[in-house]
Amino acid sequence: MSAILFENARIIDPSRGLDETGSLLIQDGKIVAAGSDVRNQGAPEGAQIIDLNGKAVLPGLVDARVFVGEPGAEHRETIASASRAAAAGGVTSIIMMPDTDPVIDDVALVEFVKRTARDTAVVNVHPAAAITKGLHGEEMTEIGLLRDAGAVAFTEGRQTIANTQLMRRALTYARDFDAVIACETRDPYLGATGVMNEGLFASWLGLSGSPREAEVIPLERDLRLAALTNSNYHAAQLSCEMSAEAVRRSKDLGAKVTAGVSINHLSLNENDIGEFRTFFRLSPPLRSEQDRLAMVEAVKNGTIDIIVSAHDPQDVDTKRLPFSDAEAGAIGLETLLGAALRLYHNDSIPLLRLVEVLSTAPARIFGLDAGTLKPGARADIAIVDLDEPWIVREEDLHSLSKNSCFESARFQGRVVHTLVAGKTVYSA
């Protein structure tokens, strides 16, 4: 593979605290050099030289919470289609949730995902395996064997493990195999029928509410178990100020915990449900504006470690229903960066921190070879025009499902090229 030299670029690499004008040199699928000093070294003989005219070069994004329909619901999303959507959004690595049919709960299914990704995907696809067989919350899977087979995390996907003793045992096993337990925290009984945030607005709309406590109570339990077992625990998708406060306390006490938030909960609030728009039917539900602002601040100050898309494709049959009957979930791979850049443009989160939580931090948490522009790293990069305006249109989306919270939204900042191992997998 010939060398490529990107010149006149804004090099943004949180792994080195780098945000400067410079160049990036790629050869044989690896990064040779990146930064301001590269310009003085010149290009290797025969290298392709590309002037980026000030566009930003970022480590490829790492999305740690992606639901895919394959196997079992390929009409909603395949591994191939999800990877194309990811590439269009500058995402070069995804962690695929085990909520498939059959569930990814044994070695054969982990190998199926890896094989299918190798044959059909244009980005890196890493399977997460179920903590319990069939996601039933009763019998643990073989964490050691699944880890050896390539599972990068263990999760119950959309579910929460109700059995506290089983959760403790899972955390203990995960610790012994140097694995991460990543869980959504949702009480299976409190607010179980809730379809939006509990409060005055839910009453006005006549919809059942889910209180913040339905998230915080199981979160507090898990944080205490993580401290008890000295395990790596990741709160997969938090939505409210009380949850951020709980994570902060746990970190301050020395627990090995990390936390994520979806871009939806940083961009939207319960008022966006408006006219019962089912694309805004999410789990956890959109919370108040106060919660949204608190989560933005939690990302900025390091309480929350990563931002995810929570990409969850649903088809017309599951969304074109009364709000209470519609399935929760929204796609997000293609809009993750565009929506996140709003937080940069409105001065809520510095760009270097934003790229860190979208790329470097999730790679570090889940032990992936990604999230850096250091010499020797695989050349997974996103080239972004930080100022280009664009509008989200259904017909432009690569996902097989079109249930986007950001349909018709106007963004500033667009992915121009995405490279995986030095190969261009997307160009606008």
With 70 as the cut, is the pLDDT of residue 29 above it? yes
46-59 tens-digit pLDDT: 889 999 999 999 99
Q: CB-side exposure of 380: number of CA atoms within 13 Å?
A: 26
DSSP 8-state symbol, 327: P
Reduced to 3 states (helix: H, G, I; strand: E, B; else coil), residue 168 is helix
Q: Answer whether 160's CB lies under 8 Å from 190's CB.
A: no
Residue 38 has pLDDT above 90, yes or no: no
First to last CA, the chain: 23
- Structural domains of the chain in order of their starting residue, each with its CATH number: 60-365 (3.20.20.140)
What DSSP state is assigned to residue 67? -
pLDDT of residue 31: 97
3-state DSSP helix/strand/coil % of the chain, to nearest 5: 35, 25, 40
pLDDT digits (tens, 9 = 90+) for 239-282: 999 999 999 999 999 999 999 999 999 999 999 998 899 999 99
pLDDT at site 295: 99
Q: Is the preceding omega at residue 284 within 30 degrees of 0, hence cis?
A: yes
CA distances from 120 to 112, 204, 235, 259, 378 (A): 12, 47, 30, 31, 20
Weakest-pLDDT range from 39-43, 123-127, 381-385: 39-43
pLDDT the model gives residue 39: 73
Q: How confident is the model at residue 85 (pLDDT cuts 50, 70, 90)?
A: very high
Average pLDDT over residues 372-377: 98
**Model pLDDT for residues 145-183, shown as the tens digit of each residue:** 999 999 999 999 999 999 999 999 999 999 999 999 999
Q: Nearest-5° angle of CA 32, CA 34, CA 39?
A: 100
Q: Which of the 8 DSSP states describes residue 280?
A: G
What's the rounded mean pLDDT across residues 219-246? Answer: 99
- pLDDT over 90 (residue 397): yes
When pLDDT is averaged across residues 394-399 and rounded to a whole number, the result is 97
pLDDT value at position 46? 84
Instruction: Kindly give, in sequence order, each residue whose CB lies less than 8 Å from that of residue 413, ignoring residues fewer than 6 positions away.
Output: 337, 338, 341, 344, 345, 384, 385, 386, 387, 388
Give phi and psi for 314, each to the nearest 5: -130, 145
Tokens of 149: 């087979």
- Across 197-222, average pLDDT: 97
Report the pLDDT value the prediction gives residue 239, as an integer from 0 to 100: 99
Q: What is the pTM of this model?
A: 0.97
Examine the pLDDT at 390 and tell me if it is beyond 70.
yes
Residue 1 has pLDDT above 70, yes or no: no
Least confident of 31-45, 100-114, 213-227, 249-263: 31-45
